[in-house]
Structure formats: C-alpha cells, structure tokens
C-alpha cells in the first residue's frame, strides 16, 4: 500500500465518483468529549481546527470529519447553478522543497509513479475548477450536514459567483448564491475570492480590491446578520494591505491561503494535468511558510489599522506542531485540507485523544443520517 492509498479522497477516481462513493476511511474513531471553550465568531467551539472549502464534498464528508474531531467544517464551494469539474486527473503528487513565499519557483514537477516519503510530507497539485451541484441538491445537503454536527462545531458554506462577461453580473451572482446559502441555513458564509484553477474572473477576485470590496459590501447587505468570511490566495505586502482595507468594513474574517498557483509539469516538461491546464494550485506540506507569512503580515496590518477582522490560517498543516505555529503567528483558527485528507486523525492527535499515527488505510465510510 502506498501513500496514495492513505487518502480519504481517491486520487485514482474523478470528482463525481468521490462525491457518490464518499470518503475512504479505515479505523476506529475513539470517543472524545466536547469542550466548547474556543471563541469563533460569537460562538464557542471545541478547538480552533477546521477544514477549508475543498475537501468536504457533501454531507458524507462533513459527517466523517465532524466525527473525527474537526470542529470548523467548510462545505465545498457552491454556485447558483450546476457547474462541471475539470476532467480527471485532478490531484497529483508534487516533488518539491519548502516553497519560499517571496521567491516561489517558476514551476514544479509531478513525476509519474512518485510518492512522498510519508503522509506528513505530502504536497499535491489539485485542479477541480470549483464544480457545483444544482442548488436544489446542495441546499438540501447543507441542511443534512447541519444535522451531523456535534456540540461545539460549526458549518461554513463557501460560495462563489460565476463570471459571465461583466463585473456587475458577477456581483449579482454572488448575491444570488449567498442568498441561497442563507436559505439553506448556513450560519456562516465564505466568499471564495481565490481559485488557482479558474482562468475567468471569479478565480482572482482577491487580486482586485475594488471588486472584492464591492462584492463583500453587497453580499453583506443581502444576507444581513450572517457573518461573512473571505478566502484569498497568497498576497503579501502592499497588495495585501490594499485588499484588507477594501473588505474589512464588510466581513468578519479572512482565510488564507488557498494554495499557491504554479506551473506543474511532468518529467518531459509538459503540463502534468492536461495541455490546457498550464497552472494549478499547489497545496500541502510545501506551502506552509507561504501560509505562515501571510498570517503574520495580515495580523500586523490588522493590529496597525485596528480592523475588527479575524485572521484564519491555512496551508501546509500536516502535524500538530504546525497548528500551534499558526496560532503563535496570530491565526485565530487554523484550517487543514491536504493534511486532513492524508491524516484524518490529525484533529484527534492535536486534542491529545490519540497518539500520532504512522499508517492509515482506506475504507468506505457511511455517514450517520
């Protein structure tokens, strides 16, 4: 059994197969007690650890990871209409050292049949393109997901508007899909302003502060009373400062980072995923310094300007010490996607319920309903 087989997401199958079959998981889930003492947007949660939008494809995935002690669960980004994923393959292992935030490489290599040395050193490239089910289906499933949470846990529904030729239309669609999430009972809504695998307007909103602020303002008026988060990519220095000024009046938190967009090639130097996907999101172990640097800079700007804005860290979290490092750098909560994908016991290890595991085997898991 290789590292690939330890993943709850089956990299050998496409998005729809993983959605239909649900997560793979093997092992007992030991009992653990709820201790809602951690503050999070007006609530008390069991811990500051969660999973960002991406891994939790539907309620089956939410149910598994809630039972495994992840207390902040972000439902995979949804749209106001059905939207297809990019073709398989969607995930490949990438061979790389730690990426430097101010000096990222021009490209990385995804060697055929290569695997990382352990689940805690996994770096992948992923390329899905923010697919979505029809709203009727995902709204019903969001309601089901809410019923699977334990005491001291919260669900975030991530949304994105679809760019159809004009910024006005994009803003209107963000309002539309956020309103749908509100109707489904979302206690918190995330505006996904960053997707490295979308070449159209919605994938790079975080690099356009006036547009980001416009969307945040209009959505906040439309879903008045529901806290809003914004998800962003790697942005530093003056660019980050400008973005935070634009969104701070309208949202309650910012989540960063959503992978690092890079060219990923095979050993022949050709695009590793497909000829038309020259760049894709790189996530996992190798982007931790990028995420930590983002959090540190965002915290400094927040304190200087006295923003009422929470900073949530994400990127490269594969061990308990990584969670503690993010909190030390100023993150008020920490999200892990690739880490949770290859080590589903990570939250229970962090809470001290389990000793760190060395081997995990997959098994079909049926969520309680």
- Take residue 350 and report the two structure tokens written for it: 């962090």
Range of the domain at 110: 3-23+35-350
Q: Is residue 357 part of a domain?
A: no
Mean pLDDT of 219-246: 97
Does residue 365 carry a pLDDT above 50? no
| 100 domain residue, yes or no | yes
Mean pLDDT of 343-350: 96
Q: How many helices (H) and strands (E) does the chain have?
A: 10, 15
Determine the pLDDT at residue 2: 87
- pLDDT band for 362, please (50, 70, 90 cuts): very low
Contact in structure between 110 and 94 (CB atoms under 8 Å) = yes
User: What pLDDT does 26 receive?
Assistant: 77
Average pLDDT, the chain: 94
- The pLDDT of residue 305 is 97
Does residue 366 form part of some domain?
no
Give the whole-number percent of the chain exceeding pLDDT 70: 95
pLDDT category of residue 289 using cuts at 50, 70 and 90: very high
Pick left, alpha or beta for residue 259 (phi over 0 → left; psi -120 to 50 → alpha; otherwise beta). Answer: left
Q: Indicate whether 363 pLDDT > 50.
A: no
pLDDT band at 76 (very low <50, low <70, confident <90, very high): very high
Q: What is the mean pLDDT of residues 62-89?
A: 98
* Active site (catalytic) residues: 195
pLDDT for residue 74 is more than 50 = yes
Residue 30 lies in a domain: no
Label each residue of 274-314 as H, E or C: CCCCCCEEEEEHHHHHHHHHHHHHHHHHHHHHCCCCEEEEE
For residue 360, pLDDT over 80 is answered with no
Q: pLDDT tier at 200 (50, 70, 90 boundaries)? A: low
CA triplet 77, 82, 83: central angle to 5 degrees? 70
**Is position 90 within any domain?**
yes
Domains: count for the chain:
1
50 pLDDT exceeds 60? Answer: yes
Residue 147 CB contacts under 8 Å (≥ 6 apart), including other chains: none
Q: What is the pTM of this model?
A: 0.95
> What's the pLDDT tens digit per position in 101-152?
999 999 999 999 999 999 999 999 999 999 999 999 999 999 999 999 999 9
261 within some domain = yes
Could you give the C-alpha distances from 41 to 180, 266, 277, 331, 337, in angstroms and in order?
A: 21, 43, 37, 14, 21
Mean pLDDT, to the nearest integer, of 205-220? 97
Q: What is the C-alpha separation between 68 and 356, in angstroms, rounded?
A: 14
- The distance of Cα 5 from the centroid of its chain, to the nearest Å, equals 21
pLDDT at 346: 97
Residue 29 lies in a domain: no
The CATH number of whichever domain residue 151 belongs to comes to 3.20.20.70
Q: What is the pLDDT of residue 366?
A: 47
State residue 27's pLDDT score.
Answer: 80
**Residue 364 within any structural domain of the chain:** no
What was the pLDDT predicted at 359? 55
Cβ atoms within 10 Å, residue 91: 25
Residue pLDDT, tens place only, 260-270: 999 999 999 99
């Amino acid at each position: 059994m290789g590292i690939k087989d330890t993943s709850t997401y089956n990299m050998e199958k496409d998005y729809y197969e993983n959605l239909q079959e649900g997560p793979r998981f093997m092992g007992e889930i030991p009992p653990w007690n709820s201790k809602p003492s951690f503050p999070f947007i007006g609530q008390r949660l069991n811990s500051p650890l969660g999973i960002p939008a991406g891994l939790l494809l539907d309620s089956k995935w939410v149910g598994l990871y809630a039972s495994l002690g992840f207390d902040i669960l972000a439902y995979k980004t949804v749209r106001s209409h059905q939207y297809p994923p990019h073709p398989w393959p969607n995930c490949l292992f990438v061979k790389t050292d730690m990426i430097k935030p101010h000096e990222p490489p021009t490209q990385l290599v995804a060697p055929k049949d290569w695997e990382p040395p352990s689940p805690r050193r996994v770096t992948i490239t992923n390329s899905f393109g923010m697919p979505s089910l029809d709203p009727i289906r995902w709204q019903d499933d969001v309601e089901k997901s809410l019923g699977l949470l334990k005491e001291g846990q919260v669900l975030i529904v991530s949304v994105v508007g679809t760019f159809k030729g004009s910024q006005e239309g994009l803003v209107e669609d963000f309002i539309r899909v956020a309103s749908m999430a509100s109707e489904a009972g979302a206690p918190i809504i995330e505006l996904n302003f960053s997707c490295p695998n979308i070449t159209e307007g919605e994938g790079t909103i975080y690099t356009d502060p006036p547009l980001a602020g416009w969307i945040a303002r209009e959505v906040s008026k439309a879903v008045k009373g529901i806290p809003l988060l914004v998800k962003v990519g790697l942005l530093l220095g003056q660019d980050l400062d400008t973005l935070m000024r634009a969104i701070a009046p309208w949202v309650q938190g910012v989540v960063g980072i959503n992978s690092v967009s890079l060219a990923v090639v095979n050993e022949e130097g050709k695009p590793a995923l497909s000829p038309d996907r020259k760049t894709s999101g790189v996530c996992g172990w190798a982007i931790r310094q990028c995420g930590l640097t983002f959090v540190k800079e965002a915290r400094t700007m927040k304190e200087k300007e006295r923003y009422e804005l929470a900073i949530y860290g994400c990127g490269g979290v594969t061990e308990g010490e990584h969670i503690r490092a993010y909190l030390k750098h100023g993150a008020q909560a920490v999200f892990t996607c690739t880490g949770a994908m290859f080590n589903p016991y990570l939250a229970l290890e962090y809470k001290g319920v389990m000793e760190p595991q060395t081997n995990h085997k997959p098994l079909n898991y049926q969520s309680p309903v």
